[in-house]
Amino acid sequence: MTEGFLPVCREDMIRRGWDSVDFVYVCGDAYVDHPSFGVAIITRRLEAYGYRVGIIAQPDWRDEKSITEYGEPKLGFLISAGNMDSMVNHYSVSKKPRRADSYTPGGVTGKRPDYAVVVYGNLIRRVYKKTPVILGGIEASLRRMAHYDYWSDRLKRSVLLDSGADLISYGMGERSIVEIAEALDAGIDVKDITYIPGTVCKVKDLDSVYDAAVLPSFGQMKEDKRLYARSFYTQYCNTDPFSGKRLVEPYSGHLYVVQNPPSLPLSQEEMDEVYGYPYMRTYHPSYEKLGGVPAISEVKYSLASNRGCFGGCNFCALTFHQGRIIQTRSHDSLIKEAEGFIRDKDFKGYIHDVGGPTANFRYPSCEKQRKAGVCKDRQCLYPKPCKNLRADHRDYVELLRKLRSLPGIKKVFIRSGIRFDYLLADKEETFFRELCEFHISGQLKVAPEHVSDRVLSRMGKPEHRVYETFLEKYGQMNRRLHKDQYLVPYLMSSHPGSTLKEAVKLAEYLNKTGHMPEQVQDFYPTPSTISTCMYYTGVDPRDMSEVYVPKNPHEKAMQRALIQYRDPKNHALVAEALRKAGRTDLIGYGRNCLIRPRKDQQREREPEQAEGRKAGRGTRSAAGDKKAEKTRTGKKKTIRNVHRKK
* pLDDT of res. 296: 97
* pLDDT of res. 602: 52
DSSP conformation class of 302: E
Q: Reply yes or no on whether the pLDDT at 96 is more than 80.
A: yes
DSSP conformation class of 131: S
Q: Reply yes or no on whether the pLDDT at 632 is more than 80.
A: no
What is the separation of C-alpha 544 from the centre of its chain, rounded to a whole number of angstroms? 25
* pLDDT of res. 520: 87
Position 419, amino acid: R
Pairing of strands 486-493, 521-522: parallel
pLDDT in tens, 223-282: 999 999 999 999 999 999 999 999 999 999 899 999 999 999 999 999 999 999 999 999
Q: Which of 109-113, 120-124, 165-169, 438-442 has the lowest mean pLDDT?
A: 438-442
Question: Domains in the chain, start-ordered, CATH in brackets?
Answer: 10-195 (3.40.50.2300), 300-417 (3.30.750), 442-646 (3.30.750.200)
Q: What angle do CA 382, 385, 390 make, to 5 degrees?
A: 130
* pLDDT of res. 141: 98
Q: Reply yes or no on whether the pLDDT at 220 is more than 90.
A: yes
* pLDDT of res. 483: 95
Q: Give the mean model confidence (pLDDT) for residues 323-343.
A: 97
pLDDT in tens, 536-559: 999 999 999 999 999 999 999 999
pLDDT in tens, 283-307: 999 999 999 999 999 999 999 999 9
Report the alpha-carbon distance of residue 128 to residue 130 in Å, rounded. 6
pLDDT in tens, 358-367: 999 999 999 8
Q: What angle do CA 206, 207, 213 make, to 5 degrees?
A: 40
Phi then psi for residue 201, to 5 deg, are -130, 175
Higher model confidence: residue 32 or residue 644?
A: 32
Pairing of strands 302-304, 353-355: parallel
Do the Cβ atoms of 32 and 288 come closer than 8 Å?
no
DSSP conformation class of 117: H
* pLDDT of res. 635: 37
* pLDDT of res. 634: 41
Task: Dihedral sign for Cα 202, 203, 204, 210, please.
Answer: negative
Q: Grade residue 636 by pLDDT with cuts at 50, 70 and 90.
A: very low
What is the separation of C-alpha 368 from the centre of its chain, rounded to a whole number of angstroms? 26
Q: What share of the chain has pLDDT > 90, as a percent?
A: 87
Q: Reply yes or no on whether the pLDDT at 629 is more than 50.
A: no
Report the alpha-carbon distance of residue 474 to residue 373 in Å, rounded. 33
Report the alpha-carbon distance of residue 64 to residue 126 in Å, rounded. 8
Q: Within 10 A of 645 (CB to CB), how many other CB atoms are there?
A: 9
- Give 146's contacts (C-beta < 8 A, 6+ positions apart): 155, 156, 157, 158, 218, 221, 228, 231, 249
Report the alpha-carbon distance of residue 622 to residue 642 in Å, rounded. 33
Do the Cβ atoms of 51 and 80 come closer than 8 Å?
no
Q: Give the mean model confidence (pLDDT) for residues 368-390.
A: 91
Average pLDDT, the chain: 92
Give the three-class secondary structure for 413. coil
Measured in Å, how far apart are the chain's first and last C-alpha atoms?
A: 51
Q: Give the mean model confidence (pLDDT) for residues 74-94.
A: 97
For 228-340, strand residue ranges (E) read 246-251, 255-259, 282-283, 302-304, 306-307, 327-328
Do the Cβ atoms of 181 and 22 come closer than 8 Å?
yes
pLDDT in tens, 414-468: 998 899 999 999 999 999 999 999 999 889 999 999 999 999 999 999 999 999 9
Do the Cβ atoms of 573 and 500 come closer than 8 Å?
no
Query: What per-residue string of b and e applies to 121-147 under the rule 16 or more CB within 10 Å gives b?
Result: bbbbbeebeebbbbbbbbbbbbbbbbb
Q: Grade residue 2 by pLDDT with cuts at 50, 70 and 90.
A: low
Q: Reply yes or no on whether the pLDDT at 39 is more than 60.
A: yes
Report the alpha-carbon distance of residue 124 to residue 50 in Å, rounded. 24
- Has this prediction a pTM greater than 0.85? yes
**Which residues are 306's β-sheet partners?**
328
* pLDDT of res. 416: 86
